[in-house]
Structure 1
């Protein structure tokens, strides 16, 4: 009965979440259903297990949610994201429209701009480019997803995405874990995605397909409550805050616009590789600091310092453009709250499930998957991210339940924890792009297309390409180790 309860609780969570119900309600409800079938104490699981795990997640990662959303809002309101997008458009032109959209998305998200902010700015640019180049607008979502939600989220070394931060406390790694494998995976995702999109463009031209007309605008997507509920479980920005504050009427020069992004990457690298490794943090072992270690918190510290430094830099160099600075900062801060609480609720749900006696059966099944620890870890991250529709939520659930087990297996098999980190993050970023994923629903709404029109191409660039890259990382990591 316990296993049936887990499946029913998870099924209710997925079913109602896809229909726009708030995860803040669904996650505890699903957890209590699972606990009830297992005849476990309901109130204790809610207040102790569920809330304890959710609170722990917030304690670890809310600073990244907060600073990430704030940075994205300030980049948008200063006109910096628009300036970078326009620069890519002017440099590559309509002859390379798909490449321009992909690279613009990759630059801003690798630099730390929140995903929905990137969607909101990139969609109008992509629409104009695709119409000028007579490329079907149904390919817009796939091009945007390739640039914003694949290799810059899970594979490129040092990406400040929350998904790349989640394994760090579990494995004692940094944002630059397995950099060589991450670069190879990024190249595979980018190359395969561009090949597919160019193939689709050529096929559309040969068949005489027109560009088409989108049936909505980015503005209408912002006001869509279904989009909001799904988007906030997928990434770290609440769409409702996108229009608050004041967007600059002028954009900064491209070098000024790009400088904060460079600061994010540069400071993150310096903190991870040079500053923190030389820092005496023995005091962290004391109970007042949580009896932890630098390896458990250092990765998060690196990302937090990088985002904070970039925010200060952005404000200084764009002060005259940020005419409503307080309102923009308030909007950015508010935009972080619902996503953080939504993902924390998913984590709480996972904690209750993992605490049930029937979960031992699930654990044994995962660990019995052939191919070794890397394959079973990839499958666990994939399945949970697919079911929750959230790479961050699914990855945290997987590592909360199985992280210590995989660390023990890594020690037994001589596997570098950095390799576990990279496999887990890439694995979480594959099947999370199923139709109910908030980022997918958001980008379709912003672009004004439908699942029927655009989802197959998203499958190819976001799922198939990522799975190929994941397989390559597992094979190379098994043969050569982490590098």
Structure 2
């Protein structure tokens, strides 16, 4: 009965969230249903287990939600993202339209701009380029997704994406875990995705399909769509409804000024990870008032948070005259972080209840018994949970909350570098999370004015198949040579 309750609760969560129900309601309801079938005390699981897991997640990662959303909104309202998109359009032009969209998306998201901010700015850019180059509009979502939702989220070393931060407290790693493997994985995702899109463009041209004039995109209507909002807030750290709040400046900054905050994010993250934190005397963290905890458990989050905070300061100083309503923009950015943080925390709370049920021992034994060793089982666990929840961050956190200590023990026993576990977990969570019900996929299709029928196959190829190829390569290389 206990295992049936876990499966029924998960099915309820997936089905109703796809229909637009709030995860804030669904997650505790599904968790209590699973506890009911197991004959466990319901109120104790709600207030102690569920809320305990959700609260730990918020305590660890809310600073990244807050700073990430604020940085994205400031980049948008200052015109910096639009300036970068315009620069790429000018330099690469319609002849390399697909490459221009992919590179522009990769540049802003690797620099820390929230995914949905990138969507709303890049979609009009892509529409103009694709129409000028006679490329079918149906390829727009895949091009935007390749640049924003693949290698810059899970593979490139040092990426400030939340997904890259989640394994750090569990494995004691940094944002630059297994940099060589990350670069190889990024090259595979980028190369395969670009090959597929260029192949699809050529086939469309031979078939006489072109980028005929299309109706203008209406991202404002998408941002206000409640169904899109409910699905989106479990997928990334920005609430699309806040895109319409704040106040955009009328002048775009020069491209060097626009790029400067992105450079600051990467540079400060690197310095914090390899220079400042390793030299910090953090013995005080062992005192009871700080947890107790260790620098290995919090250092990664400190590094990314400091990088985002420094970039926000530089951005405001460099663009003060281009932010006519700074307080309104800051309020919108801060508000944009709240619903996503609570939604993902609720998914984590659900996972905490499931992991605490006696029947979960069967699930743990099954996962750890998968052939191929701990790297394969870890990849499969994060893959499946990200797919079911429609959230890479939620699925990965559930997996690591339940199995992280076990994998660390296996790593010590088998002499596996935790950095390798980190990179496998992040890439694994970024594969099947792009199933049709994923909030980022739904939002991207709506922003681009496309449908699943028209564009989803290409999204599958660039976001799922490319990531699976990269994941398999990392597992093979990591098994043969370890982390590098």
Bin of the TM-score, shorter chain as denominator length: over 0.9
Q: In the alignment, what sits opposite 1:236?
A: 237
Alpha carbons 1:10, 1:30 under 8 Å: kept: yes
1:392–1:291: structure 2 CA closer, same or farther, 3 Å change rule? same
Whether 1:446 aligns to 2:447 is yes
Q: In the alignment, what sits opposite 1:107?
A: 107
Q: In the alignment, what sits opposite 1:426?
A: 427
Q: In the alignment, what sits opposite 1:39?
A: 39
Q: In the alignment, what sits opposite 1:183?
A: 183
1:393–1:155: structure 2 CA closer, same or farther, 3 Å change rule? same
- Distance in 2 separating the partners of 1:215 and 1:363: 50
Q: In the alignment, what sits opposite 1:4?
A: 4
1:413–1:254: structure 2 CA closer, same or farther, 3 Å change rule? same
Equivalent pairs counted in the alignment come to 483
1:218 deviation in Å? 1.5
Alpha carbons 1:99, 1:194 under 8 Å: kept: yes
Whether 1:343 aligns to 2:344 is yes
Q: In the alignment, what sits opposite 1:75?
A: 75
Secondary structure at the counterpart of residue 234 of structure 1: coil
Provide, for residues 59-108 of structure 1, a one-character-per-residue CA deviation record: whole Å limited to 9, x for no partner: 00000000000000000000000000000000000000000000000000
Q: In the alignment, what sits opposite 2:403?
A: 402
Alpha carbons 2:124, 2:217 under 8 Å: kept: no
Show the 5 A alignment for 1:160-239. Answer: 160-212=160-212, 213=214, 217-239=218-240
Gaps (5+ residues) in structure 2? none
Q: In the alignment, what sits opposite 1:479?
A: 480
- Distance in 2 separating the partners of 1:87 and 1:34: 52
Q: In the alignment, what sits opposite 2:130?
A: 130
Show the 5 A alignment for 1:215-364. Answer: 217-364=218-365
Alpha carbons 1:214, 1:449 under 8 Å: kept: no
Q: In the alignment, what sits opposite 1:370?
A: 371
Alpha carbons 1:214, 1:447 under 8 Å: kept: no
- Distance in 2 separating the partners of 1:471 and 1:294: 31
Q: In the alignment, what sits opposite 1:52?
A: 52
TM-score of the pair, normalised by structure 2: 0.99
Secondary structure at the counterpart of residue 242 of structure 1: helix
1:217 deviation in Å? 2.2
- Distance in 2 separating the partners of 1:109 and 1:423: 20
- Distance in 1 separating the partners of 2:15 and 2:57: 24
Gaps (5+ residues) in structure 1? none
Alpha carbons 2:110, 2:152 under 8 Å: kept: yes
Whether 1:385 aligns to 2:401 is no
- Distance in 2 separating the partners of 1:164 and 1:79: 27
TM-score of the pair, normalised by structure 1: 0.99
Provide, for residues 11-58 of structure 1, a one-character-per-residue CA deviation record: whole Å limited to 9, x for no partner: 000000001100000000000110000010000000000000000000
- Distance in 1 separating the partners of 2:20 and 2:405: 34
Provide, for residues 406-428 of structure 1, a one-character-per-residue CA deviation record: whole Å limited to 9, x for no partner: 00000111100000000000000
Whether 1:437 aligns to 2:441 is no
- Distance in 2 separating the partners of 1:126 and 1:219: 17
